[in-house]
Amino acid sequence: MRTQLLSAAVLLALSSFSHAKTDVSEAANAVEKDVIQWRHHFHEHPELSNREYDTAKYVAKYLKGLGLEVQTGVAKTGVVAVLDSGKPGPVVALRADMDGLPVPEENDLSWRSKVKGEYNGKEVPVMHACGHDTHMAMLMGAAKILTDMKDELRGQVKFIFQPAEEGAPPGEMGGAEVMVKEGVLKNPDVDVVFGLHISAGLDIDKVSYKPGGAMAAVDPFKIVIHGKQAHGAYPWKSVDPIVTAAQMVMSLQTIVSREIKLIDDAAVVTVGSIHGGNRSNIIPREVELVGTIRTLDKKAREHVYEAMERKVKGIADSMGAEAELTLPLDYSYPITYNDPELTMQMLPTLQRTAGEDGAVLAKAVTGAEDFSFYQEQVPGLFLWVGGKPLDVPEADAPAHHTPEFYVDDKGMKLGVKLLTNMTLDYMHQAN
């Protein structure tokens, strides 16, 4: 039955795409040189989250040059443009993120970043160490192609260039959550949203997809344990927050190992920071734990929340201490959830664009993406596009968020075609 449905979907996609007069592959070839140039510009001039001022100006100038209706200053530095075909049809949103990271670049490139920025009051090196430079360039390429074939569209396309996907600076709000609050999915009302992320570990000319929970929800937490200070030689006079913290760290791990049904759901509870005390012979008054929770299922997420409160209170009470749990701490991302029906609807498009062997079913990852805020409001599909050179083994590919991060320019053409074809196919299938 599933095979029959997929076959029907393939026929539908091919049939709908046949209405297009423009050869998308040829159009992508024609714009590839510009896409590479844009990527190099962004890579050489990265900006940190909520500070993408020059990046936004560059993007907005280009979109205005295409004759699009452009809005700037969305969620501080975001840029949104609308392409209206003048014909009835759905509103398709395409999203790219714009921010770089406080990472020093170590690649030997003529267009490597030498930029410095300010983070937490300190001067830091800045690098596009997660490929957002490619995301912007690919979306600009798709905007060019779709604008050129405006007469072949049905409905409207909304191009979203988003700031602060990596997280706003301390004390600020930013990213997709703020864009949604400021109405980026309204006026016109978006029917569906597509996004993609370059992958340093996936071969160029491949795209990976995952129906359902594709990337984890992220929930940072903080636990402050209040005890009673005493001399280290007389521990019986204390309420020791360090021993309490040690018990708490170990107990929190059992939430995943003993309470989550791991054959169905994946979850992570990580304590990444412990602060407490300043001398070997003093039992301190207070200890602070900071960590992160990652879940791929709504029920698992709710269970971890409940278990965290239960264990923190129970252990503190048993030790005669007091504990304060802050969850979430400063930000929280929902699960990046690819609508299963939309994913299957677009699968023939992915297979036609990348080749049947080029569209790869992926496993979920415990990394997070704030694209999830759009998906909470409208059906969405988030994909991984290959950026790893074919002559580099996967084990040797540099990781995201590292000084050695690198993706091949050649991987971007597939991203341009995917954004374009998904828009076209969805528009024609909806009519």
Contacts 24+ apart (CB under 8 A), 8-16: 9/344, 9/345, 9/347, 9/348, 10/348, 10/351, 10/352, 12/348, 12/429, 13/348, 13/349, 13/352, 13/425, 13/429, 14/348, 14/352, 16/424, 16/425, 16/428, 16/429
Catalytic-role residue among 99, 177, 297, 369: 99
Question: Of the residues 285, 303, 326, which one is the last residue of a structural domain?
Answer: 326
- Cβ atoms of 423 and 194 within 8 Å: the answer is yes
Pair (167, 290) in one structural domain = no
Say yes or no: 202 and 320 in one domain.
no
Are both 175 and 226 inside the same structural domain? no
Residues 178 and 276 in one domain: no
Which amino acid does the sequence have at 173? M
Helix (H, G, I), strand (E, B) or coil at 170: coil
Give a yes or no: residue 59 inside a domain. yes
**CA–CA dist 36, 108 (Å, integer):** 17
CA separation for the pair 6, 287 (Å, rounded): 56
Q: For residues 11 and 141, state if they share a domain.
A: yes
Give the CATH number, domain containing residue 245. 3.30.70.360
- What is residue 315's three-state secondary structure? helix
Q: Which residues contact 352 (CB under 8 A, 6 or more apart)?
A: 10, 13, 14, 17, 421
Sign for the pseudo-dihedral over CA of 151, 379, 32, 353:
negative
What distance lies between CA 401 and its chain's CA centroid?
Answer: 13
User: Does 410 map to a domain?
Assistant: yes
| Residues near 178 by beta carbon (within 8 Å), at least 6 away in sequence | 75, 76, 164
Residue 331: inside a domain: no
By three-state DSSP, how is residue 289 classified? strand
Same domain, yes or no, for 424 and 367? yes
Indicate if the alpha-carbon torsion angle 359, 364, 370, 374 is positive or negative: positive
Distance of alpha carbon 53 from its chain centroid, rounded? 21
Residues 272, 403, single domain; the answer is no
Residues 6+ apart with CB under 8 A from 152: 19, 20, 21, 22, 424
Residues 319 and 409 in one domain: no
- Same-domain pairing of 201 and 236: no
Same domain, 17 and 163: yes
Tokens representing 273? 């920071």
What are the two backbone dihedrals, phi and then psi, of residue 286, each rounded to the nearest 5 degrees? -150, 145
Report residue 329 as tokens.
Answer: 């701490």
Domain hosting 293: range is 217-326
Is residue 99 annotated as a catalytic residue, yes or no?
yes
End-to-end CA distance of the chain: 25
Looking at the fold, whether 320 and 361 belong to one and the same domain comes out as no
Regions in the chain scoring below 70 on pLDDT: 1-20, 431
Catalytic one among 52, 105, 165, 408? 165
Tokens representing residue 300 in the block: 């698992």
- pLDDT value at residue 262: 84
The structural domain count of the chain equals 2
Domain boundary among 269, 298, 326: 326
User: Which residue, 259, 293, 326, sits at the end of a domain?
Assistant: 326
Q: Is residue 230 part of a domain?
A: yes
Q: How many Å apart are CA 67 and CA 194, to the nearest integer?
A: 22
- Looking at the fold, whether 243 and 208 belong to one and the same domain comes out as no
Known catalytic residue: 288? no
Using an 8 Å Cβ cutoff, are 205 and 411 in contact?
A: yes
For residues 225 and 240, give the distance between their C-alpha atoms in angstroms, rounded to a whole number. Answer: 9
Check: CB of residue 226 under 8 Å from CB of residue 241: yes
C-alpha–C-alpha distance, residues 382 and 162, integer Å: 15
